Amino acid sequence: MAPNLLVLGGTTEATALCRRLADAGIAGTVSLAGRVERPRPQPLSQRVGGFGGAEGLADYLRAQKITHVVDATHPFAARMSANAVAGCAVAGVPLIALTRAPWQAGPGDDWRHVPDIAGAVAALSGAPARVFLAVGRQHLAAFAAAPQHHYLLRLVDPPTEQLPLPHHRVVVERGPFTEAGDLALMRAQGTELVVSKNSGGSGASAKLAAAGALGVPVIMIDRPALPARRETHEIATVLDWIGHHPADLGV
Ligand SMILES: NC(=O)c1ccc[n+]([C@@H]2O[C@H](COP(=O)([O-])OP(=O)(O)OC[C@H]3O[C@@H](n4cnc5c(N)ncnc54)[C@H](OP(=O)(O)O)[C@@H]3O)[C@@H](O)[C@H]2O)c1
């Protein structure tokens, strides 16, 4: 049976993987959650929207006769990744995760680790500061509990609703970002503190390099825990896995 992949996407790595799959003539579909108004065009056919939990995903895998699933979602998309493990187990479809290595602090970096968004909010209980809040739109509401700061927000889409933070400036921009660009932005904004998820990868690391260069501390939100699964950081390993995991062998 020829492979028929499902790639769980929404990341630069997923788009790069889909390009390599298309070039290799491997059939598949990329799935996006639908959070971004104008997603990047994808080299594979595309579907948008949730599956309806792990059971919904298992139903989809069976109905579409999916032979392999590659979870290339963002490391903080913990619900989708947990559903992928459970849904693939139910449907008997093999799964591999294509992930980014986490960022590591270098010499001279001042990173303060927190376990989650709530930890980052708690770390912002002090005096008003100019904060570059680089956590994505969906988590902004939590930071309403620390309203004393002036927040710099970089968003993919312009906000359509009133933001819950009384003092803020929005920059609408899509990565990848450069260290020179982020240095200029943070200097212009007088940034005193950066809040970042430990997303890994190269597209969003510029703010950390800029923070290091400016001596600005970083509140680093560590990654959520995920169920055990087969995982690689390399697209070549995914292609190899497809080749060595014939479509009719099951999990
Ligand atoms: N979290 C981040 O910081 C971040 C950053 C950049 C990009 N992204 C991308 O944005 C998407 C959503 O992230 P999230 O943090 O909201 O995820 P999440 O909390 O793990 O997912 C919540 C629900 O959204 C649906 N969903 C998520 N990713 C999907 C996908 N690729 N295809 C179809 N449905 C999906 C699933 O709904 P059902 O249960 O109904 O199936 C899932 O249970 C992901 O694709 C991720 O790769 C996330």
74: Cβ below 6 Å to ligand 1? yes
227: Cβ below 6 Å to ligand 1? no
Give percent of the chain with pLDDT exceeding 90.
86
Atom of ligand 1 nearest to the CA of 74: 47
User: Cα angle at 213 between 211 and 217, to 5 degrees?
Assistant: 35
Mean pLDDT of the chain: 94
- The rounded distance, in Å, linking the Cα atoms of 51 and 29 is 14
pTM of the model: 0.91
pLDDT for the residue 29: 97
- The rounded distance, in Å, linking the Cα atoms of 104 and 87 is 32
pLDDT for the residue 187: 98
Q: What φ, ψ does residue 56 adopt, rounded to 5°?
A: -60, -40
3-state helix, strand, coil in the chain (%, to 5): 35, 20, 45
Residue whose C-alpha is closest to residue 192's, from 240, 246, 124: 124
- The rounded distance, in Å, linking the Cα atoms of 131 and 220 is 13
Q: Say how many Å lie between the CA of residue 232 and the centre of ligand 1.
A: 19
- Name the DSSP class of 143: G
Which two tokens mark 97? 């995760």
Q: Say how many Å lie between the CA of residue 65 and the centre of ligand 1.
A: 22
Low-confidence ranges of the chain (pLDDT < 50): 250
Tell me the best of 30, 79, 100, 157 to mutate to test the pocket of ligand 1, counting ligand atoms within 8 Å of each CB and taking the most.
79
Regarding beta strands 68-71 and 4-8, do their DSSP bridges make them parallel or antiparallel, or are they unpaired? Answer: parallel
